[in-house]
Structure 1
């Protein structure tokens, strides 16, 4: 058997080690991704529960309306506020998603600047 040939166990170990090294390079991006998904999920739950509370309150006000004009006013106000809230939440979620990724890309990008001791003579 040739001395340079690897056993199957050594080849798998080398492949696994190389894979771990490649994954370690992506760690800033992975951390940012997990944090962004966590923040996004929390914001979605908070927004959904708030909108459900506002929906229940609007239904209570609708049940107390005496005429058709009051019903129209309550519904118009409710839907106008709902649209504005959804637009604001969409912008908030885009901010949550985009901010960590730009920071992770900056930290994952290798620096091309020379260090103080890395000056050619």
Structure 2
């Protein structure tokens, strides 16, 4: 086993330090990041449960026709859910980008005619 070096840090410490740094730098971006992560975790958990339920149902099939129908329905549902999830994440990213752009604006504008020549 390799001897740990001083540069190795536990993942919990590195993660919390990175999150704290992001929060200090831009709270808007860190909130958007947390929203993306929680939505992705929710979706993956839900899909995993549905995958396991489908596997149980497939193992209980009595005929190849029943299995084919079950697989077809499973794939259609999964594709619809993945498409919906991608659309939801895209909308979240659009909102986060819009909010970040608004946050960067100063609220003051200059016209080109007020610059002295």
Q: Assess same fold via TM > 0.5.
A: yes
Unaligned runs of 5+ in 1: 1-26, 115-121
TM-score under structure 2 normalisation? 0.68
Say whether 1:45 aligns with 2:45.
Answer: no
**How do 1:51-62 residues align onto structure 2 when only pairs under 5 Å count?**
51-62=47-58
Structure 1 position 113, deviation (Å): 5.9
Q: Does 1:65 align with 2:97?
A: no
Q: 1:76 aligns with which of 64, 67, 72?
A: 72
Runs of 4+ aligned residues of structure 1 deviating over 4 Å after TM superposition are: none
TM-score, length-scaled by structure 1: 0.65
Q: How many residues align?
A: 87
Residue number among 84, 88, 94 corresponding to 1:98 in the alignment: 94
TM superposition shift of 1:33? 1.2
RMSD between aligned residues: 1.9
